[in-house]
Structure formats: structure tokens, C-alpha cells
Amino acid sequence: MLRDSDIDSLNGHLASFSLEQQKQHEKLQDLLGQFKSLLDDYSSLKSDYEEVKDGREKYKRQARGQDRNPFVLVLVDGDGYLFKEHFLRNGSEGGIDAARELSDSVKELMHSTMGMQAEQCRIMVRVYANVLGLSKALARAGLMGHEARSLSPFTSSFTRAQELFDFIDAAEKKEGSDFKIREMFRLFADANQCRHIYFAGCHDTGYGSLLTPYRGSDRITLIKAAGFHREFEALGLPIKELPSVFASTPLATTKPPTGPAAAKANGNGTNGMHSHSNSNSGNPNKPICKHFQKGICKFGNGCNKQHVMPNQSLTHLPSSKSSATSPKSSTKATSAFWTSPTAVGRTEDFLRSMLPLPSIKTEEFIPVNKDGDRIDPYYPQPPADAFEEYHSRAKEHKVCNSYHLSGECGDMSCPYDHTDVSNIVIEVLRWMLLQHPCSRSGACRSIKCYMGHLCQKPGCKAVKSWQCRFNQNAHTLDLKIARWDVPTDQDEIIDQWSVSDSSIGNTSPNSLLLD
């Protein structure tokens, strides 16, 4: 029989064995937990690996796709970069020729900037412009007809000529071309498939902020043409020219005189002005021929009076004694003073340098100074030959100012002529209207208002109301442009100058020329 001590010893051994077994079980559970955690981590890592692997494969497929169709992009602001005149004059054929010449010229640039990579790239061209406004400007320069959207045959042929060439109408809204070009540039500037961008919009400093982040980039080349701003040189980007594609000089506002007027101008002087070496202009004591200033002198060089225009300087000022003897001599003295380059009023050179030149932009927006006053583009007085052509045309049938200046006439029973006239006649009409003040003065924002909003007569001071139709403020306006306003023309425009067609279009230049 077991003793009590033996029983206690067996109980101790059993308790010890049980405790040992419990510890082994706990260790086993801990080991199983670690193993499970390891399996979970492995599964997570495997899933991440598969995702990365799929991503790499997708990227490789995209990269291979981008390598298959590389291209270069040519972005052109067509409102500022005009194609060469011979392209524009040829209409549909000119559009095809312009596209072909642009393609050949860009290929040459690609070889010089991209090397062997150029052979693999296609050329994508996007030209954005206000086709209606551009058509009007080109018509006034004698490069297009006067019908609406006369540029359309050129643009459509340009688009059809090459697969990736598009000439796109950006409509008439403010900065329509700018908006399109900016978005196209941002879309492709960092795209791997687009290997290079040739940017033709350096006439507008507004694009500076768009290009600044890419300063010094070897993927962008600037194209230089008429109106190129030197601010773009600071970007450190390559600058190239396409002289066989884009015009290198600004668009002329009028085409030169043709026919008898041109022959007469070439024979008597330069720029359509009469030479002052003729016998009738050499003696400063001779009276001034008012008929010559109106462009209707019948005696020519045989006239016994001086042939000088109002904005020309006189070589002789009548003495104060002769001025005091008669009203006539006083008038002559006043005239000599006003046309003298030393007069206090603004000189012709000053007006020419300060006022904006007629352009596509002035056809679409209103230049305004810091005080909110409208500023007219600079229009010098046409030469006598132009007035001769105008009067000759008016004798056949008096022209409609509204139609020929704005391209439309709302009067269905208009008695005036709507048939084609030369650009010289149009410019005479425009200049004549500018001599009449607009009733709204500097506050006018109508793009179809062709009246004057400031005095452009050189040397004019308007001390007396009878000396000039414009008020004093129109002679002292700040001519620095602060902004370009969107015209406020609505469907029904207060067309003050079309109402006065009968008084302006049919009047003699005498009432418009300054004595």
C-alpha cells in the first residue's frame, strides 16, 4: 500500500507534468500565430507585387504605343502671323501652296533641331484665327474680296491639303485664338508622344506667362515673324524664322494706288504726295491753293498758287503787320501757324508714334486709356490723288458709307452704291468720317462707330471753337493704351454716322479739310 509521502510525490509530478504541458501548448499557439501572421504578410506582399507588375506592363504598353506615332506640333496664332501675300491672293490654290510650303519648311527645322529623330515624326499644324475679322482686315489691305469670310476658301484648302493640318475659326469672342492656343499647348507640352512644339505667337506678350515655365527648354522653338516682341528673347528658347511662309512686315492698311493715280503720284513725288520742287510751290509769298488741298485743282503745275497740304510745314510766316491789316491775311497767318512743325499742338510724328496702328486687333477691340477714354487708330490724311479717285467714283454713283466701312447696311431702300470700290476710296471715306466728332466722345464703345474720338490734325490746339470741330479734351487725351475693351455693340446699334450718310458721303472734302 502506498505511503502518504509517495502519494504526495506522485501528485507533485503530475502537477509538474500538467504545467509543462500547458507551457508547451502556449508556445505552440504562439508559434502558430506567428506563422499565420507571416502568411498574411506574404499574401499582402504578393498582392502588391502583382499590382506593381501589372502597372509596369501597362506602362510598357503605353510607352510602346507612344513610340509608334511621334509627332511635332506647330501652333500658329493666325490673327498675328499672316501667310505671305501671294498665298492669300490665290485663295483656294494659295491655301494648298501655303500648307505645302509650311510642311517643307518645318521639316527643315526639324532636321536642324531634332537630328535623326525628325525622320520618325509627323507634323501636326493648328492655326487659330478670327476668320471674319481677319477677312475684313485683309480686304482693306487689298488681299481679299469684300464679301464676308472671304478668307474661307484659303482656310478650307489649307485644312484639306495635309492630313494633320487644320485652320480653325476661333470665332469673334475676345481672345478666342489665345484661349485655344493656350489649352493646346498645355495638353501637349509634356506629352511624350509630342516630341517638339514650334510656337508661332510671339506677337502677343500675353503668351509670356504660358512659356515662362519652359524657359530654356529644348522641346520648344519660337517662330519669328512680323510683330515679334523682343521680350520673348529673354526666355532662352531657340528662335527661328519661316520667311517663305509668314509675312515679315505688318499688314498694310491700304493697297497702293493703281492706274492713273499711281502714275501721277510716281511722277510728282513720293507716297502719293506732290513734289514741292515744282514751280507752283517754290515761292513762299504765293497764296495757298485751296483747290489742290481738296484734290480738285485743274491747273496742275501751271497753277499760280502754292500746292501744299494742310499738314505740311510752310517756309514763310506772314508778318504781324500784314496780319493786322486784313482778316484774310490773319486767316493765312493762323493757317501757317497751325501747320508749322514748331506749333504747340501735337505733331504728326508724335501722333504716329503714340496712336495704335490699324490692325486686326483694332478691328475687334476698343483701345482705351487709363481715364477710360477711347483712342482712335492712326489714320494720316490721304494724298490728293486719293481724293481725285474718290471724287471720280462719287460722280458715277455716291457710295454708301455704312456698307463699305462696316460691310453691311441695314437700309433696305438705301439710295447709295453698294458695288465694289477700291481701298483708296474706302480710306478716304474713313478719314473724312474721323474729322467729325462722335457725340459719345471717349465713352463710345461701338466697334462700328467710324466717327472721330480725338483730333488727329497735326499742330491743332483748338483754342477757338471755329478752329476745330473737336473740343479741348479731344486735343489733350492721354494717348497711352491702358486696356482693350470688348465692344458693346448689340443687335440694334445707334449708328449715328450711317444716319448722316447724306451729309458726309455726299459732301465735298472742303468741309472736312482744315483751312
As a CATH number, domain 68-241 is: 3.40.50
The domain segmentation of the chain, as residue ranges, is: 68-241, 260-511
Percent pLDDT > 70 in the chain is 73
Q: What secondary structure letter does DSSP report for 372?
A: S
Q: Put the strands of the sheet holding 122-129 in their side by side order.
A: 165-169, 122-129, 71-77, 194-200, 220-224, 239-241
Average pLDDT, the chain: 76
The per-residue pLDDT for range 461-497, each reduced to its tens digit, is 765 556 688 888 888 888 888 888 888 863 333 333 3
Per-residue buried b or exposed e for 110-126, using 16+ beta carbons within 10 Å of the residue's own CB: beebbeeebeebebbbb
Q: How confident is the model at residue 263 (pLDDT cuts 50, 70, 90)?
A: very low
Q: What is the rounded average pLDDT of the residues 505-509?
A: 35
Q: What is the rounded average pLDDT of the residues 337-349?
A: 53
Q: Which residues pair with 368 in a beta bridge?
A: 374, 483
Pairing assessment for the beta strands 483-485 and 366-368 based on DSSP bridges: antiparallel
Q: What is the rounded average pLDDT of the residues 271-292?
A: 50
Q: How confident is the model at residue 285 (pLDDT cuts 50, 70, 90)?
A: low
Per-position DSSP letters for 439-479, written without gaps between them: TTGGG---TT--SBSS---TT----SGGG-SS-GGGGS---
Angle, CA 342 vertex, CA 513 and CA 357 arms, to 5°: 55
- Location of C-alpha cell 537630328: 115
Model confidence, pTM: 0.46
**End-to-end C-alpha distance for the chain, whole angstroms:** 157
Cα–Cα distance measured from residue 175 to residue 385, given in angstroms and rounded to the nearest whole number? 38
Write out the three cell numbers for 222.
519660337
Are the C-beta atoms of 84 and 247 separated by less than 8 Å? Answer: yes
Write out the three cell numbers for 37.
501572421
Which class for 81: exposed (0-12), middle (13-18), buried (19 or more C-beta within 10 A)?
Answer: buried
The Cα-based distances of 285 to 217, 323, 328, 332, 482 in angstroms read 67, 14, 14, 11, 46
Say whether pLDDT at 245 is over 50: yes
Q: Which residue type is seen at 336?
A: A
**461 or 352, which is more confident?**
352
Are the C-beta atoms of 78 and 134 separated by less than 8 Å? Answer: yes
Q: How confident is the model at residue 515 (pLDDT cuts 50, 70, 90)?
A: very low
The per-residue pLDDT for range 32-81, each reduced to its tens digit, is 999 999 999 999 999 999 889 888 877 776 666 556 789 999 999 998 89
Angle of helix 260-268 versus helix 384-396 axis, rounded to 10: 160
Candidate from 117-131, 187-201, 500-514 with smallest mean pLDDT: 500-514
Candidate from 89-98, 286-295, 386-395 with smallest mean pLDDT: 286-295
Are the C-beta atoms of 146 and 407 separated by less than 8 Å? Answer: yes
Candidate from 159-163, 176-180, 383-387, 419-423 with smallest mean pLDDT: 419-423
pLDDT of residue 169: 92
Angle, CA 99 vertex, CA 93 and CA 104 arms, to 5°: 125
Are the C-beta atoms of 355 and 457 separated by less than 8 Å? Answer: no
Instruction: Residue count of the chain, please give it.
Output: 515
- Location of C-alpha cell 501722333: 351
Say whether pLDDT at 5 is over 90: no
Say whether pLDDT at 109 is over 60: yes
Say whether pLDDT at 290 is over 80: no
Are the C-beta atoms of 136 and 147 separated by less than 8 Å? Answer: no
Percent pLDDT > 90 in the chain is 26
Q: What is the rounded average pLDDT of the residues 273-293?
A: 52
Closest to 459 measured CA to CA, from 270, 283, 314, 357:
314
Rg, C-alpha atoms of the chain? 39
Say whether pLDDT at 351 is over 90: no
Alpha-carbon 387 to chain mean position: 30
pLDDT of residue 332: 37
pLDDT of residue 331: 37
Q: What is the rounded average pLDDT of the residues 299-310?
A: 61
Are the C-beta atoms of 289 and 305 separated by less than 8 Å? Answer: yes
